[in-house]
Chains A and B, each alone.
Chain A
Amino acid sequence: KQEVTQIPAALSVPEGENLVLNCSFTDSAIYNLQWFRQDPGKGLTSLLLIQSSQREQTSGRLNASLDKSSGRSTLYIAASQPGDSATYLCAVNSNSGYALNFGKGTSLLVTP
């Protein structure tokens, strides 16, 4: 069964800092990996989708990388802002399961 781990569980940074969120998974046979953002009491918003054949995807200040062989993905947030405060979730779509397996998330707080 695919296991997805996110480190750190919580992170607090001052505004303007660049930061990296980490995601690791145990089974490298994946279709894709997706990063989501969740605000308190809200649903999940898709941020980036990386197919298994890709190495990275970028959207604005966000950059996600994928190293399938080592079972790792990182989400890089440049020039963080207080509005980036949320929980960030990593989810892996495995060849065997066809549904997303989620990590527990990283709770990010960006202070003014």
Chain B
Amino acid sequence: DARVTQTPRHKVTEMGQEVTMRCQPILGHNTVFWYRQTMMQGLELLAYFRNRAPLDDSGMPKDRFSAEMPDATLATLKIQPSEPRDSAVYFCASGLNTASEAFFGQGTRLTVV
């Protein structure tokens, strides 16, 4: 059963700490997205990769957030230093290509205290 896998599912951390979230896209998918979901803003695009190359990270605060794809089976989203306003659910999604159906992981619920 192919699915997008995200770890950890939950993370509580103190302000100022580094947070790393990981995503394993569906095998063979060449597009990967990171989204953040909050009650106020809904789902916001943070970063978008195609064939492991970042195509759009305009939604990401550059001073503290970074997104990478070390290889085709792993995407990472790092926050350093974390702040309470970063508390949200972070979703990873993947698709076969740009215009295909997107499949979402279960998300990482981040709480920064």
Contact = CB atoms under 8 A, between A and B. Distances in A.
A93 interface: yes
A45 to B, nearest CB: 8
B100 to A, nearest CB: 8
Given A43-B107, A44-B91, A89 B102 contact: no
Looking at chain B's contact residues, is the secondary structure mostly helix, strand, loop, or mixed? strand
The range of chain A's interface size is 20 to 34
Interface string A58-99: 000000000000000000000000000000010101000111
B102 A100 contact: yes
Most buried by B among A44, A45, A49: A44
Nearest to A41: B109
Contacts of A36: 104
B43 A89 contact: yes
A93 to B, nearest CB: 6
The range of chain B's interface size is 20 to 34
Contacts of B55: 98
5 contacts: A42-B107, A44-B104, A46-B104, A97-B56, A102-B35
Q: Please give me the 9 A-B residue pairs with the lowest Cβ-Cβ distance, nearest first.
A: A31-B99, A44-B104, A102-B43, A43-B106, A49-B101, A104-B42, A99-B48, A43-B104, A98-B98
Interface of B: 33, 35, 42-43, 45, 48, 50, 55-56, 91, 93, 98-107
